[in-house]
Structure 1
Amino acid sequence: MSQERYNPQDIEQKWQRRWADEHAFDCDHNSDKPKYYLLEMFPYPSGNIHMGHVRNYSIGDVMARCKRMQGFNVLHPMGWDAFGLPAENAAIKHRTHPAKWTYANIDNMRAQLRRLGYSYDWRREVATSRPEYYRWEQLFFLRLLEKGLAYRKKAPQNWCPSCHTVLANEQVIDGLCWRCDSRVEQKDLTQWFLRITAYGDELLRDLSKLEGGWPDRVIAMQRNWIGKSTGAAIRFALEKPAATAEGEEAAFIEVFTTRPDTVFGVSFVTLAPEHPLVESLIAGYDKADEVRAFVTRIRNMDRLERQSDTLEKEGIFTGAYVVHPFTGERVPIWLGNFVLADYGTGAVMGVPAHDQRDFDFARKYGLPVRVVIQPRGERLDPDAMTEAYTGEGVMTHSGQFDGVPNVDGKAAVAAELERQGKGRATTQFRLRDWNISRQRYWGAPIPVVYCEQCGMVPEKEENLPVLLPLDAQVRDDGKSPLPELDAFARCVCPKCGGPARRETDTLDTFVESSWYPARYTSARKDDAPFDMEALNYWMPVDQYVGGVEHAILHLLYSRFFTKALRDLGFYPPHLDEPFTRLLTQGMVLKDGGKMSKSKGNIVAPADMIEKYGADTVRLFCLFAAPPERDFDWSDSGIEGSYRFLQRVWRLFEESRDRLSPLKACGATADDAAAGEARALRRKEHLTVKKVSEDMQPERSQFNTAISAVMELVNAMYLAREKMGRSEAENRVFSSAMASVLTLLAPFTPHLCDELWERMGHDGLLLNEAWPAWDEAALAQDTVTIALQVNGKLRGTIEAPAGADKAALEELARADANVLRHTDGLTVRKVIVVPGKLVNIVAN
């Protein structure tokens, strides 16, 4: 019989058309099946998908298809993170409008994703740059503003001179812009913020709910970024009142410390160079210009470098003093490069004897070192100390607290400060409020206006969406055209009806990606952001797949948005976390490095699909390494995956005359009474068990699952040559073939649906039940027993499974190799481990 050649191009497009015609991947929340929401992080529409996309989306698709076959009602949507810097910068580079660039790329990338055969419910597709999406985001902003969770303030901000916009702290990586790698500067600007710190405690506490579902390192990264510290806020009265930037008078400087027990060891107070009182403090000081030069230099240092333990500490005296809250002593005020204005209060107390950073600073500038915590049984000499003492001990030179264990002294000092009105016990977070203002065009407009009569006025909800004008001409330098676009900027005040100007900053693109999973649950609803019934059914996402690089960006912001929208009534009360499980996939490398145009090492998915087919590309991306690991692209590797699929095709074609339309694990024990048929059925059920276990979300070891199917295919080739052709034996072979196709279907769905149909089955493999193995089929007739003489391996034997110790000893003593190695010796002892080994001790 002539055999048809494997042609992935024809097969794949045939099945993609059929899946679309049959709406194979559509789902609805009105179902009696258990739900499973599977989601991969949606892409920027950059122009073409890359191999990182293919790996990410192939992982998700395997999970989604497997869950459908396991009886779940699966939501698996796709959309586009379409606003923001990447799209705008690319459009400027290509001298086109961001909207035109974005929507052309969406069309192209959608076609590429369809060509890979992903099981998306395309009816739910969203693009964040569409007004029907961002109108609801503007509504959320207005409600956040109403609740005091959105606010505007002037403060030093991270400024990217290349992108012409501010960046949130989380978007500054090693002092560089997260998008363009330009050195970030500090700039005083009035910006919009979301009060993420209001949820600091809950964000930290609820990390415990994610343990076991999220990678440990992501949880640790969020915990460290939130950075909760317990201590005391202490007020040091200013020797002379100072004027704030707003013209008000400040009578004290407040510091936060985790060590209030060391307050009597304070010999200086250090302010951040950006602290708002600096200019007032140095007024009239003869070295004020030197201080200003120091401030200018330090303000533009890398923020992370300023927090580094290896940073060389630098400072300058301001000429001003505060008064110690307990002793009344004059304490000099310094500026230090290691203090940040937006961390704590922007001021720290210097206790050189008990803080290493302060110790280094004091030694450098000749400031006093005062020991106020003595370790038990020792006596520290401040003049002889070479490093700070940070351990436990007893308070000394600490007034009324002398002799108090310092662990107890922390609370005691805080209580006394509160009693005197000079401080209080408190906590602080490393987490800062989220700056959401962007000085760029391609983003969602912030729905507020500024009126000379009324001040800042929120837009009326019935006027939403505030549309981004698509007739704006983007500028080559990246600056936003909106401030000069009168048709947009000039407007009427919603409150008084007088002339006003719109806010021309746009929202950070991470705002859009913080709530998109919920919109997928009712993507076409036009009278509200969500259908609450659908939201209740689908959320939270059961399995999220995406890169670890978003650990303290998108993932943290999404957690905050979930809690805020819950409290605003948009989410159900029980929805505390957006993602139950998280899988962070590794990167696809080439020649040991990240794929990039500049390195000339890009592998284009379209080229690989054209050469090998989508199934091969999917298979290789999943077989090359466990999903959480990076892997290096290999031409020989993808060729090996292609050969394996050809091997499956050839096995099917060469065996068609013995195949019948059985389901996976469809042969009975009677069909496989003995010999090769029994062995093949056992291998089939072992494979189903192995693959089923590897596909569980807590394992997701797709590479070993594929390897197990490869072993079954090898076993089928061998069995085919040895097995007879009785009806029963053919049933065993057909069952094994059905299991191969069913287990491979999530990985290589086109090939498997094609062979499934050729096998005589009706319907799609997607709608087949996931196979169940039979424990009885796993039993072995014989086991291999190792034979040892004096602990050295001398051979093996095949013994009946379940043979007792006496039977195994008898078989071992009769073995020729054992007899040869014990000849002339006296057997002293026989050690039998049933099912494993027999060791004969002789001398």
Structure 2
Amino acid sequence: AQSHWKAIDAYKAVEHDPRFPKGKYYACSMLPYPSGKLHMGHVRNYTINDVMYRYLRMNGYNVLMPMGWDAFGMPAENAAMANNVPPAQWTYSNIAHMKQQMESMGLAIDWSREMTACTPEYYKWNQWMFLKMLEKGIIYKKTGTVNWDPIDQTVLANEQVVDGRGWRSGALIEKREIPMYYARITDYADELLAYVDDKLPGWPERVRTMQTNWIGKSTGVRFAFPHAIRDEAGAVIGEGKMYVFTTRPDTIMGVTFCAVAPEHPLATHAALGNPALAAFIAECKLGSVIEADMATMEKKGMPTGLFVTHPLSGAQVEVWVGNYVLISYGDGAVMGVPAHDERDFLFAKKYNLPIKQAVAVEGKEFSSDAWREWYGDKDNCVCVDSGKYDGLHYAAAVEAIAADLAALGLGEKKVTFRLRDWGISRQRYWGTPIPMIHCADCGVVPVPEKDLPVILPEDCVP
């Protein structure tokens, strides 16, 4: 029977087929990675899809069940290296074997529409899409802090780091600054959030909450601590302003320290004459750039010996390097308010830093002996020991403080997102070539569309 079905192309989807009056139905399961052999997970998924195909077809739908191969990536490259063969050879051999296994199962696949991600005919359109998004400014290049796997010699996504180690190699992840191409998905953060809130009918509430938290919209104030710190050439670092973002500007009068990321320009400058600080910064760079990891790791710090000026009180504020501050989040610096942030409280207790109350809740007594949940309450608090802001509740304090910072030219209200732009140049050799030319005369320029695809050599053994 299977030979007959194959001979007559029984599963080939034909446009406007009169046998199927209910119209088209696209039944696509996740395309497999060509690892070499089908496993029971493949059998399960494609059997479910096959059953759905046959049921819909019998009910009058013109069903298309396509198949393709997610064929690029590091596993193929690593396997090829282990076997001393080109990744292309290893990949195409696996595809041939897995296709034979699928055909023997009798799956209702339209093989006339088979695609393979590592063929130039396919990845030409990846490159075309890259160029179109580059034209629109959706794709751009910048130096960013990334998860670096020293064994696999590649960048890993946050989801590929487990307990601070690479998910494949098990190596301890390092933080590195690498120039990469990014997709500007943060431009669509509000639109994404609106869809989560209003246009996902039937989705479980926990999934919607997870997506909302992933996008992570925050409203607060971005402001600067002025300073006159100069680099070796005599230029003022960062134009004399160290910026931070906070959702609790009402507690600004409780700032007793600031912490910067190990990669921050002030940290780099301070480390030049301080071997101990340089060693601490190097230690901090061993670890992931995942926010969740930062939340659970032991908080460590070291003073830089540098001071910035509080923008409203004029007090001198000590700058520390903190292993929990990410250069890729905000401006790579945070204000420390131990009295009203639990992380800052524990950090201050560990390093014997001042703890200064700036808001209070009626009927509650503040003590720096131990953290209490109400210390971080913004719904019921009023400003205290905060000069002209005393007695203001959260919303009024935010408005007043933001207005004063704006009048000084040092800050403004701002909306930020936890969502980060998507790094898209993580692969090593075995991946779609990025269609950019590095020219000694012209700099970095895009490949003309007429010259696509940029072909990846298939005879290389990494």
Q: TM-score scaled by structure 1? A: 0.51
Q: Distance in 2 between matches of 1:410 and 1:460?
A: 51
Q: Distance in 2 between matches of 1:409 and 1:51?
A: 60
Q: Which has the higher contact order (CA 8 A, sep 6+)?
A: 2
Q: Distance in 2 between matches of 1:48 and 1:70?
A: 33
Indicate yes or no: 2:452 matched with 1:468: no
> After superposition, what is the alpha-carbon deviation per residue over 1:268-295, rounded to whole angstroms, capped at 9, x for unaligned?
11111122331224455xxx11111110
Q: 1:166-177 to 2 correspondence within 5 Å?
A: 166-177=155-166
Query: Which of residues 324, 331, 337 is equivalent to 2:310?
Result: 324
CA contact 1:196–1:433 (8 Å) conserved in 2? yes
Q: Structure 1 residues 217, 43: CA separation in 2 closer, same or farther (over 3 Å shift)? A: farther
Paired AA for residue 368 in structure 1: P
Q: Distance in 1 between matches of 2:70 and 2:217?
A: 32
The Cα shift of 1:351 comes to 0.6
Q: Structure 1 residues 231, 243: CA separation in 2 closer, same or farther (over 3 Å shift)? A: farther
Indicate yes or no: 2:415 matched with 1:421: no
Partner of 1:360: 346
Amino-acid identity (%):
47
Q: 1:505-654 to 2 correspondence within 5 Å?
A: none
| Deviating more after overlay: 382-391 vs 435-444 | 382-391
The Cα shift of 1:216 comes to 4.9
Query: Which of residues 390, 395, 399 is equivalent to 1:402?
Result: 390
Query: Which of residues 299, 322, 333 is equivalent to 2:319?
Result: 333
Q: Distance in 2 between matches of 1:321 and 1:334?
A: 9
The Cα shift of 1:345 comes to 1.7
CA contact 2:262–2:268 (8 Å) conserved in 1? no
Partner of 1:350: 336
Paired AA for residue 84 in structure 2: R
Indicate yes or no: 2:34 matched with 1:45: yes
For these two proteins, the number of residue pairs brought into alignment is 455
Indicate yes or no: 2:364 matched with 1:378: yes
Partner of 1:146: 135
Q: Distance in 2 between matches of 1:68 and 1:408?
A: 63
The Cα shift of 1:306 comes to 7.3
Query: Which of residues 235, 257, 275 is equivalent to 1:289?
Result: 275
CA contact 2:339–2:356 (8 Å) conserved in 1? yes
> After superposition, what is the alpha-carbon deviation per residue over 1:178-226, rounded to whole angstroms, capped at 9, x for unaligned?
3333322222322222222222222333234663455555444433333
Paired AA for residue 420 in structure 1: L
CA contact 1:243–1:249 (8 Å) conserved in 2? no
Q: Structure 1 residues 149, 171: CA separation in 2 closer, same or farther (over 3 Å shift)? A: farther
CA contact 1:168–1:436 (8 Å) conserved in 2? no
Query: Which of residues 81, 86, 90 is equivalent to 1:101?
Result: 90
Partner of 1:18: 4
Q: Structure 1 residues 67, 420: CA separation in 2 closer, same or farther (over 3 Å shift)? A: farther
Paired AA for residue 334 in structure 2: V
Q: Distance in 1 between matches of 2:414 and 2:231?
A: 25
Partner of 1:118: 107
SS in 1 for 2:186: helix
Q: Distance in 2 between matches of 1:73 and 1:216?
A: 34
Partner of 2:151: 162
Query: Highest CA radius of gyration, 1 or 2?
Result: 1
Q: Structure 1 residues 18, 221: CA separation in 2 closer, same or farther (over 3 Å shift)? A: farther
Q: Distance in 2 between matches of 1:106 and 1:307?
A: 38
The Cα shift of 1:332 comes to 0.6
Paired AA for residue 174 in structure 1: D
Paired AA for residue 163 in structure 1: D
Q: Structure 1 residues 250, 81: CA separation in 2 closer, same or farther (over 3 Å shift)? A: same
The Cα shift of 1:247 comes to 9.8
CA contact 1:372–1:396 (8 Å) conserved in 2? yes
CA contact 1:243–1:277 (8 Å) conserved in 2? no
SS in 1 for 2:28: strand
> After superposition, what is the alpha-carbon deviation per residue over 1:70-119, rounded to whole angstroms, capped at 9, x for unaligned?
33332321100011111111222222221111111111111111222222
Paired AA for residue 398 in structure 2: K
Q: Structure 1 residues 155, 116: CA separation in 2 closer, same or farther (over 3 Å shift)? A: same
Q: Distance in 2 between matches of 1:151 and 1:131?
A: 24
Indicate yes or no: 2:427 matched with 1:449: no
Partner of 1:77: 66
SS in 1 for 2:305: strand
> After superposition, what is the alpha-carbon deviation per residue over 1:724-766, rounded to whole angstroms, capped at 9, x for unaligned?
xxxxxxxxxxxxxxxxxxxxxxxxxxxxxxxxxxxxxxxxxxx
CA contact 1:175–1:303 (8 Å) conserved in 2? no
> After superposition, what is the alpha-carbon deviation per residue over 1:358-404, rounded to whole angstroms, capped at 9, x for unaligned?
00011111111111111023342x44554460113111122222111
Gaps of 5+ in 2: none
SS in 2 for 1:319: strand
Q: Structure 1 residues 30, 191: CA separation in 2 closer, same or farther (over 3 Å shift)? A: same
Q: Distance in 1 between matches of 2:23 and 2:85?
A: 47
The Cα shift of 1:253 comes to 0.9
CA contact 2:147–2:288 (8 Å) conserved in 1? no
Q: Distance in 1 between matches of 2:278 and 2:407?
A: 38
CA contact 1:414–1:423 (8 Å) conserved in 2? yes
Q: Distance in 2 between matches of 1:156 and 1:454?
A: 27
CA contact 2:67–2:111 (8 Å) conserved in 1? yes
Q: Structure 1 residues 235, 194: CA separation in 2 closer, same or farther (over 3 Å shift)? A: same
Q: 1:712-727 to 2 correspondence within 5 Å?
A: none
CA contact 2:384–2:391 (8 Å) conserved in 1? yes
- Alignment RMSD, CA only? 2.4
Q: Distance in 2 between matches of 1:162 and 1:298?
A: 19
Partner of 2:78: 89
Q: Structure 1 residues 276, 124: CA separation in 2 closer, same or farther (over 3 Å shift)? A: farther
Q: Structure 1 residues 305, 378: CA separation in 2 closer, same or farther (over 3 Å shift)? A: closer
> After superposition, what is the alpha-carbon deviation per residue over 1:7-28, rounded to whole angstroms, capped at 9, x for unaligned?
xxxxxxx2x2233233332224
The Cα shift of 1:136 comes to 0.9
Q: TM-score scaled by structure 2? A: 0.91
